[in-house]
Amino acid sequence: MKQLTKRQFKRYCDIVYNESGIKLNEDKWQLLNARIGKRIRKLGVQADKYLSIIEKDHDELNLFLDAISTNHTYFFRESKSFEFLDTSCRNIWCAASSSGEEPYSLATYCLELGFEPSILATDISDSCLDKGRRAIYPKKCLSNIPKHMIRRYFQKGTGKWEDHVRVKQNIRRIVKFEKFNLLKDSPPSKIFDIIFCRNVMIYFDIPTKEAVIRKLFKVLKQDGYFIIGGAESLSGLNHSLKYIEPSIYRKI
């Protein structure tokens, strides 16, 4: 496809921001151009026509948001923050679960501590949620997991799947995957003992970050931990959480 014009780029960025809260700057011009190119070629349309399609067709809008979402994760990523999990953390929310590595990591960590949690894993991306439900991953994704835990919680693939593993059923049943838009959707009605919202707010501007924090704060229990990514900070934002250490906050 041809390079997006400045006008087209701005319109696409406005849609992304209004629908997901993700703020795309001009340094993402090439990324956006590449990510939507596949959909445009498949439909056989031009960039302007595709704009009109995603403005009217909710299913195609979801496919567009799927295409531009950044989904990079792996098992036991930034696992130091897992140290704040204990037996009081029965209800856990992974509010940006991507393809499932984080919630499954949390599930196995809790089981190693001797208790079984209930984990809600949410994401805006349908394709990521599908991957999480399938729970099949390349073996190379397990590099941060101790070998005894791999044997205990993962099944080795055979045949065409020999380079993959699948999370065992007793772990999969602990994690419930649901679609959730941090910007637009109302939070669940239950209260959570700890909320992980990691490596997603880095893509939001200040008003969106504050709105998301207020939303999640409402369903976090008193004294519950709110955990963000290692590259993120709530410094300079208007919120009611107490800073504990980098990436760790608490509802006091």
Domains in the chain, number: 2
77 in active site: no
Q: Are residues 186 and 208 in the same domain?
A: yes
Q: SS3 letters for 77-103?
A: CCHHHHHHCCCCCCEEEECCCCCCHHH
Q: Are residues 47 and 91 in the same domain?
A: no
Q: Does 221 reside within a domain?
A: yes
Q: Does 153 reside within a domain?
A: no
Q: Are residues 16 and 127 in the same domain?
A: no
Q: Are residues 171 and 242 in the same domain?
A: yes
- Given strand 220-227, what is the order of strands in its sheet? 175-179, 118-123, 91-94, 192-196, 220-227, 248-250, 242-245
123 in active site: yes
CA dihedral (67, 73, 78, 83) positive or negative: positive
Tens-digit pLDDT string for the chain (252 aa): 577 888 988 998 999 899 888 888 887 788 788 888 888 888 888 888 999 999 999 889 988 888 877 666 789 998 999 999 999 999 999 999 999 999 999 999 999 999 999 999 999 999 899 999 999 999 988 888 988 999 999 999 999 999 999 999 999 999 999 999 999 999 999 999 999 999 999 889 999 999 999 999 999 999 999 999 998 999 999 999 999 999 999 999
Q: Does 246 reside within a domain?
A: yes
Which of the residues 7, 14, 27, 35 is marked catalytic? 35
Q: Are residues 89 and 189 in the same domain?
A: yes
Provide the CATH number for the domain around residue 40.
1.10.155.10
List, in sequence order, the alpha helices (H) in the chain.
Answer: 6-20, 29-43, 47-56, 58-68, 101-113, 126-134, 147-153, 169-172, 206-218
Q: Does 154 reside within a domain?
A: no
Quick check: 210 and 182 in contact, CB under 8 A? no
Q: Does 142 reside within a domain?
A: no
Q: Which residues pair with 119 in a beta bridge?
A: 92, 175
Provide the CATH number for the domain around residue 243.
3.40.50.150
Q: Are residues 56 and 99 in the same domain?
A: no
Q: Are residues 122 and 55 in the same domain?
A: no
Q: Are residues 88 and 187 in the same domain?
A: yes
Which of the residues 39, 123, 172, 198 is marked catalytic? 123
Q: Does 130 reside within a domain?
A: yes
Domain range spanning residue 111?
79-136+167-250
169 Cβ contact partners less than 8 Å away, ≥ 6 residues apart: none
